[in-house]
C-alpha cells in the first residue's frame, strides 16, 4: 500500500472508497450500510481504513451519519438553476412532486426593517407565513414569506398549503412575478431549524433571501429560505463578459 504524503488518500483507501461507491449504487436512498465490523471483514481491510473511506464519502454527501443510528445512503441532490421560477415549478421540472406545509401564519405591521425591504410604509399590514417545502414528501426547505396585504388581498396561510405563491398570485390576482433579486450564503442549521427540516443540528444549508416584483415594479414579497445542503445544489450558467470596445479581445 502506497501512502501519499500530505494527508491525501492512499491507494488502499481509494480502492475501498470505490468498492463502497459500487455498494451504494445498489442501495436506495435512506438504506443503511452494513455495520462497520461486517463491512471491514467483507472488504478485507482494517476498520480504520474503512472508516477513512466512509469519511470521504460523507464529505462528498454520498453517505450520511446519524448519531446513534449508523451510516445511511444519502438522497440524491436536487439541482436548481438560478432563475425567477417558483419552488413548485423547479421541482416539477425535475420530475419531483412539490408540496408545502404551513407551519404558522400571522398578520402584523411591517416595522422599519421589513418595510425597507418591501418598499412600503412601516405601518403597512404584512402577512408572514412560515412553510416547510417538500419534494416527494422529503423536507427540502424552510421558508419565511412576507407579503404586503394589499398585494394579495385576502391571502391566508391556508391558501398557501400545498400551493405555489407565484401561481396563486398570477391566477387569483392576475399579478404574476416579473423579476427578482436574490442573495445566497452558507448557513449552519440551528436545533429548531434542523428539527423542522428533519435533519441534524449543525448541518450545512443554503440561505436564500429574495425580493420579487410584479410587472408594475411593486415589491410583492420578501422571502427568507433555508435549503438543506445535503439535498440541494445550485447551478449557474455563465457567459464571457462582452468586450468593452470593438477594438478586439485580449
pLDDT tens for residues 78-137?
555 445 566 777 777 767 788 889 999 999 999 999 999 999 999 999 999 999 999 888
Q: Is residue 153 part of a domain?
A: yes
pLDDT value for 76: 62
Category of 26 on φ-ψ map: left (φ > 0), alpha (ψ -120 to 50) or beta? alpha
Of 24, 41, 73, the last residue of a domain is 73
Which domain covers residue 61, as residue numbers?
A: 11-73
Residues 110, 225, single domain; the answer is: yes
Which 8-state DSSP code applies to residue 217? S
pLDDT at 238: 63
88: left (phi over 0), alpha (psi -120 to 50) or beta: alpha
Residues 126 and 223 in one domain: yes
pLDDT value, residue 152: 94
Query: What is the predicted pLDDT for the residue at 78?
Result: 54
Residues 228-239, mean pLDDT to the nearest whole number: 72
Residue from 185, 181, 151, 184 nearest 169 by CA: 151
| Pair 67, 91 in one domain | no
Q: Do the domain assignments include residue 246? A: no
Q: Closest Cα partner for 100 from 170, 177, 160, 154?
A: 160
pLDDT over 80 (residue 218): yes
Total domains in the chain come to 2
Same domain, 35 and 131: no
| Whether residues 60 and 93 fall in one domain | no
Neighbours of 151 (CB within 10 A): 19
Does 135 fall in a domain? yes
What is the distance between the alpha carbons of residues 3 and 7, in angstroms, rounded to a whole number?
Answer: 9
Amino acid at each position: 500500500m502506497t501512502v501519499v504524503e500530505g494527508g491525501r488518500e492512499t491507494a488502499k483507501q481509494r480502492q475501498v472508497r470505490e468498492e463502497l461507491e459500487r455498494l451504494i449504487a445498489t442501495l436506495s436512498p435512506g438504506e443503511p450500510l452494513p455495520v462497520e465490523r461486517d463491512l471491514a471483514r467483507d472488504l478485507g481491510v482494517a476498520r480504520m481504513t474503512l472508516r477513512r473511506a466512509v469519511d470521504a464519502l460523507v464529505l462528498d454527501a454520498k453517505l450520511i451519519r446519524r448519531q446513534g443510528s449508523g451510516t445511511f445512503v444519502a438522497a440524491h441532490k436536487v439541482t436548481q438553476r438560478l432563475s425567477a421560477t417558483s419552488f413548485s415549478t423547479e421541482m416539477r421540472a425535475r420530475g419531483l412532486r412539490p408540496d408545502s406545509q404551513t407551519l404558522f401564519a400571522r398578520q402584523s405591521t411591517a416595522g422599519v426593517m421589513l418595510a425597507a425591504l418591501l418598499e412600503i410604509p412601516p405601518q403597512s399590514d404584512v402577512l408572514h407565513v412560515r412553510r416547510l417545502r417538500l419534494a416527494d414528501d422529503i423536507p427540502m426547505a424552510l421558508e419565511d414569506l412576507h407579503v404586503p396585504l394589499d398585494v394579495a388581498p385576502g391571502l391566508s396561510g391556508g391558501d398557501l398549503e400545498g400551493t405555489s405563491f407565484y401561481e396563486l398570485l398570477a391566477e387569483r390576482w392576475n399579478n404574476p412575478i416579473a423579476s427578482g433579486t436574490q442573495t445566497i450564503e452558507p448557513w449552519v442549521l440551528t436545533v429548531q431549524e434542523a428539527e423542522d427540516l428533519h435533519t441534524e443540528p449543525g448541518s450545512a444549508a443554503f440561505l436564500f433571501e429574495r425580493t420579487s416584483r410584479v410587472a408594475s415594479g411593486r415589491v410583492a414579497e420578501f422571502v427568507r429560505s433555508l435549503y438543506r445542503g445535503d439535498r440541494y445544489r445550485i447551478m449557474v450558467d455563465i457567459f464571457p463578459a462582452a468586450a468593452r470596445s470593438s477594438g478586439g479581445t485580449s
